[in-house]
Amino acid sequence: MSGPSWWEQATSELARADPVLGELIAAYPGIRLTRRSDAFTALARAIVGQQISVKAAEAVWRRFVARVSPDQAEAAFPALDALQVAAARPASLRTCGLSERKVEYVRDLAARFASGRLEASAWGRLDDEALIASLCEVKGIGRWTAEMFLIFHELRPDVLPLDDIGLQRAVAIHYHRGRRVAATTIARRARAWRPWRSAATWYLWRSLDPVPVEY
């Protein structure tokens, strides 16, 4: 697993810019945003886990890995082969617990990687919005999923996922006495967090769930 080179600078500047974040950063020492898998595996896992609980997503994911790549079944951080996934029979993938639509989505993703239509090595040349737009061309990937990928896999420092329920809850708790506010209000609040809005979001998530999520 690897973390972002900019993390120490981000936490230092955020702590000075925002007292709330300063307290959260101090409350969770020694942990940071990390990447744990390759691009294809991370996106496949995101699709598999959409709209189901964390526990259910983990169970389905483990069955999926065992089916498409048995040699990776016991790996803590499996690395899947897009060609293997693209070649898997839809009926076989359905037995893992995937809906028909998710089977379509994950096979489309695999086909794009296998054919080179999605090329992770080129993403470093794209700014955040261009990469989000490129990812959203894939069936089953919307803006929220793309933003999670930019934060957790690409380790982009300044992503603000305004549609994320966890971010909305944390901002309400810490800045508005529990009162939900509009996305525009969160965006204004987050101006003070630039250019480290990914890190700010990550610490606000920690205030709701101390265990970091990794992709």
Q: Using one digit for the tens of pLDDT, what is the confidence trace for 50-77?
A: 888 878 888 999 999 999 999 988 888 8
- 71 and 124, same domain (yes or no): yes
Query: How does pLDDT run across 89-133, given as a tens digit for each residue?
Result: 999 999 999 999 999 999 999 999 999 999 899 999 999 999 999
Q: How confident is the model at residue 215 (pLDDT cuts 50, 70, 90)?
A: low
Considering all CA atoms of the chain, what is the largest pairwise distance in Å, rounded to the nearest integer?
A: 54
- 119 and 55, same domain (yes or no): yes
Give the integer Cα–Cα distance in Å for 16 and 13. Answer: 5
214 pLDDT higher than 70: no
CATH number of the domain to which 78 belongs: 1.10.340.30
- 127 and 30, same domain (yes or no): no
Structure tokens at 178: 């529990």
State the distance between the two ends of the chain, measured CA to CA, in whole angstroms. 10
Whether residue 172 is contained in a domain is answered as yes
Q: How confident is the model at residue 212 (pLDDT cuts 50, 70, 90)?
A: low
Q: Which of 18, 38, 81, 164 is catalytic?
A: 164
User: CA separation (Å) from 211 to 87, 149, 203?
Assistant: 35, 18, 11
Domain end among 112, 133, 152: 152
159 pLDDT higher than 90: yes
Whether residue 26 is contained in a domain is answered as yes
Mean pLDDT over the full length of the chain: 93
Q: How confident is the model at residue 210 (pLDDT cuts 50, 70, 90)?
A: confident
Rounded to 5 degrees, φ, ψ at 60 are: -65, -40
Q: Which residue has the higher pLDDT, 50 or 180?
A: 180
What is the percent of the chain with per-residue pLDDT over 70, rounded to a whole number? 97
Residue 126, beta-bridge partner list: none
Over range 5-28, report the average pLDDT.
Answer: 97
What pLDDT is attached to residue 202?
Answer: 96
Question: Which residues span the domain enclosing 19?
Answer: 7-34+158-208
- 138 and 164, same domain (yes or no): no
What pLDDT is attached to residue 207?
Answer: 93
Q: Is 81 a catalytic residue?
A: no
49 pLDDT higher than 90: no
Give the integer Cα–Cα distance in Å for 123 and 67. Answer: 29
- 43 and 102, same domain (yes or no): yes
36 pLDDT higher than 90: no
- 92 and 78, same domain (yes or no): yes
CATH number of the domain to which 173 belongs: 1.10.1670.40
Whether residue 72 is contained in a domain is answered as yes
For residue 176, count other CB atoms closer than 10 A to its CB: 13
213 pLDDT higher than 70: no
